[in-house]
Amino acid sequence: NAGVMQNPRHLVRRRGQEARLRCSPMKGHSHVYWYRQLPEEGLKFMVYLQKENIIDESGMPKERFSAEFPKEGPSILRIQQVVRGDSAAYFCASSPRQGANTEAFFGQGTRLTVV
């Protein structure tokens, strides 16, 4: 049973380009979470999705950022017109259900560098 798969592992974009980060949850997991970790800081919640639905996007910046989790295929975190401040590690996590004491399993992350 493969773990949470994220790709690419490393992504370099010039300012103004678009970044697409992909996350395939563990088999049987229908809940996906995206977190961002800025250098020397903790993980910050961005968005929680279930298949075809955004459940909680309270941590998403209001502009340029969007996320989806289609019926088929991976979850996508999309950042339009990237700026240097978007440089960070983006982690995806998945869980099989919601509820107390449900462990979330993390992918290895995508390290985005904006030059």
Partner 1 sequence: RKEVEQDPGPFNVPEGATVAFNCTYSNSASQSFFWYRQDCRKEPKLLMSVYSSGNEDGRFTAQLNRASQYISLLIRDSKLSDSATYLCVVGSTGGGNKLTFGTGTQLKVEL
Instruction: Tell me how many degrees the CA angle 37-40-46 measures, rounded to the nearest 5.
Output: 20
Q: Does residue number 74 form part of the binding site for partner 1 (CB under 8 A)?
A: no
Out of 55, 61, 73, 78, the only residue in the binding site for partner 1 (CB under 8 A) is: 55
By the rule CB under 8 A, 1 interacts with partner 1:
no
15: left (phi over 0), alpha (psi -120 to 50) or beta: beta
Stretch that binds partner 1, among 13-21, 67-75, 80-88, 104-112 (CB under 8 A): 104-112
Which of 66/105 has CB closer to partner 1? Answer: 105
Distance between CA atoms of 29 and 89, rounded to whole angstroms?
A: 22
Find out whether 104 and 94 touch, Cβ atoms under 8 Å. yes
CB of 95 to partner 1, least distance (A): 6
Residue 28 interacting with partner 1 (CB under 8 A): no
**CA dihedral defined by 7, 11, 13, 18, rounded to 10 degrees?**
10
The residues that touch partner 1, with contacts defined as CB under 8 A, are 31, 33, 35, 41-45, 48, 55-56, 89, 91, 93, 95, 97-109, 111
